[in-house]
């Protein structure tokens, strides 16, 4: 019988080689997670208002393979506590947003039944991350998801798959229309467990009003909460809700630009919907750069297709994203909104329009003259850090 003797130095060398081999093998098996390992997670909150193009901008982020996206999770808060006003609900909404950013979905325990699936989340099927592994195995991460197919194939998966999926992404993005004061978010911006950035999306109030008229019924409960009517639904024919929305945009913009604390530096970006549809790739590239994301060829093709479809703006679904001529639709209010309504909207939103670069029109002739530019070049305001 032959006996082999191995000295200590040789044994140590073999152990090192074996360990190195196992590390290489492990890294290959887990290469799809290597891009996020060791990097600080980015949290992005898209702040906007109803019918401002926020669903479209949300999709721009949702379809990115590095992003876990949820659309308006505060819908659950407002639906459960609808007898309160928006200001009272700010803190509850903020707590939900913070928990989601930390991938803690137990925060929904207060707003959902105990037994629930992924489909219990509001507009869950517009989130590519909830249609891809590990939430659902039907779609690859790096492909554009299809809402209809996702709804058919992925809705019955366990709700807690959402939490598992969230933890595998480098970016968590939430789109929300239920904040009316930037200062409410200060605790999140100073929270050491978060790396929060704010993308503030605005749109011409006249275009917002035209779009809101197409979705009146779906907005009436929210109108009541904005106006604090103790649960009574409201038809905003007096444009009181639009006035509150304009006030909130002014407050957020002035706070971020003229009264900004140091912790807001490089963490706030204002975007106008009209600029996005006018030059999608340029504006989206800037938004991605702000969020620390790269624009892929696959996304470039999808963005072109979704902004250069048919010019019809007759879709009345409140949250449907379809391939349309976005630039043409953004001007639709000039053709169909009665001038008396335009005058009223300009009256209640004059300050916001002047601040954000939306030119007022003085007559029906000016309104319908599409050669007259009403979206002015936006001034590049410098931040003033306190």
Contact 386, 283 (CB under 8 A): no
Q: Which residue has the tokens 């007898």?
A: 83
Look at residue 382 and tell me if it is in a domain: no
Euclidean distance between CA atoms 207 and 227, whole angstroms: 21
336 close to 206: Cβ distance less than 8 angstroms: no
Residue 63, number of CB atoms within 10 A of its CB? 23
- 8-state DSSP, 263: G
Average pLDDT, the chain: 86
Residue 377 neighbours by CB distance under 10 Å = 8
pLDDT the model gives residue 138: 83
Nearest-angstrom CA–CA distance, 61 and 44: 10
Alpha helices in the chain (DSSP H): 8-29, 54-62, 74-80, 86-101, 147-154, 161-166, 186-189, 205-213, 216-226, 240-257, 273-278, 280-291, 297-307, 326-329, 333-336, 339-348, 350-356, 364-368
- Assess if residue 22 is contained within a domain: no
Report whether 299 contacts 269 (CB < 8 A): no
CA distance 66 to 378: 30
Listed in sequence order, the residues at least 6 apart from 290 whose beta carbon sits closer than 8 Å to its beta carbon are 197, 199, 269
pLDDT at 40: 87
Task: Give the C-alpha distances (Å, rounded to integers) separating 222 from 57, 195, 256, 264, 341.
Answer: 21, 30, 26, 29, 21
Q: Quote the number of domains for the chain.
A: 1
pLDDT at 14: 43
Helix, strand, coil content of the chain in percent (nearest 5)? 50, 10, 40
Distance between CA atoms of 52 and 333, rounded to whole angstroms?
A: 13
Angle between helices 205-213 and 240-257 (to 10 degrees): 140
Contact assessment for residue 53 and residue 276, using Cβ atoms and an 8 Å cutoff? yes
3-state SS, residue 252: helix
State residue 73 phi and psi, 5-degree precision.
Answer: -60, -25
165 within 8 A of 129, measured Cβ to Cβ: yes
42-60 pLDDT, tens per residue?
A: 999 999 999 999 999 999 9
Q: Is 11 among the domain residues?
A: no
CATH number at residue 197: 3.40.50.300
Q: Within a domain: residue 105?
A: yes
Residue 323: inside a domain? yes
In sequence order, the 6+-apart residues with CB closer than 8 A to the CB of 24 are none
Instruction: Give a yes or no: residue 139 inside a domain.
Output: yes
The pTM of the full predicted model, rounded to 2 decimals, is: 0.85
Strands 268-272 and 67-71: unpaired
Token digits for 348?
């209640």
pLDDT tens per residue across span 99-116: 999 999 999 999 999 999
Q: Is residue 149 part of a domain?
A: yes
Number of neighbours of residue 253 by Cβ within 10 angstroms? 19
Q: What's the count of helices (H) and strands (E) in the chain, helices before strands?
A: 18, 5
Residue 269 is part of which domain span? 38-368
Positions of the chain with pLDDT lower than 50, given as ranges: 1-6, 10-37, 311-323, 381-386
């Amino acid at each position: 019988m032959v006996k082999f003797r191995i000295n200590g130095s040789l044994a140590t060398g073999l152990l090192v080689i074996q360990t190195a081999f196992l590390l290489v093998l492990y890294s290959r098996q887990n290469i799809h997670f290597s891009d996020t390992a060791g990097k600080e997670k980015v949290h992005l909150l898209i702040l906007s208002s109803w019918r401002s193009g926020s669903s479209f901008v949300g999709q721009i982020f949702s379809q990115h393979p590095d992003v876990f996206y949820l659309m308006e999770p505060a819908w659950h808060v407002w639906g459960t506590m609808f007898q309160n006003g928006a200001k009272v609900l700010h803190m509850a909404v903020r707590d939900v947003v913070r928990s989601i950013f930390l991938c803690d979905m137990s925060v929904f325990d207060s707003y959902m039944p105990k037994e629930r699936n992924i489909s219990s989340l509001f507009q869950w099927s517009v989130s590519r991350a909830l249609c891809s592994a590990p939430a659902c195995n039907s779609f690859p991460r790096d492909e554009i998801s299809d809402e209809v197919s996702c709804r058919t194939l992925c809705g019955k998966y366990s709700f807690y798959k959402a939490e598992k999926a969230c933890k595998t992404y480098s970016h968590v993005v939430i789109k929300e229309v239920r904040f009316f004061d930037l200062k409410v978010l200060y605790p999140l911006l100073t929270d050491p467990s978060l790396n929060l950035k704010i993308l503030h999306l605005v749109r011409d109030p006249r275009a917002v009003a035209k779009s809101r008229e197409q979705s009146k019924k779906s907005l009436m409960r929210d109108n009541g909460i904005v106006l604090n009517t103790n649960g009574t639904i409201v038809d905003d024919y007096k444009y009181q809700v639009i006035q509150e929305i304009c006030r909130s945009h002014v407050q957020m913009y002035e706070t971020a630009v003229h009264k900004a604390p140091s912790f807001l530096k490089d963490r706030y970006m204002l975007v106008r919907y009209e600029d996005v549809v006018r030059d999608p790739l340029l504006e989206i590239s800037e938004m991605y750069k702000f969020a620390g994301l790269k624009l892929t060829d696959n996304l470039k093709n999808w963005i072109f297709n979704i902004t250069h479809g048919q010019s019809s703006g007759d879709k009345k679904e409140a949250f449907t994203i379809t391939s349309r001529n976005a630039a043409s639709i953004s001007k639709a209010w000039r053709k169909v909104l009665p001038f008396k309504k335009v005058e009223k909207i300009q009256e209640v939103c004059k300050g916001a329009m002047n601040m954000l670069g939306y030119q007022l029109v003085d007559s029906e002739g000016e309104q319908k003259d599409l050669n007259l530019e009403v979206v002015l070049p936006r001034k590049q305001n410098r931040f003033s850090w306190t």
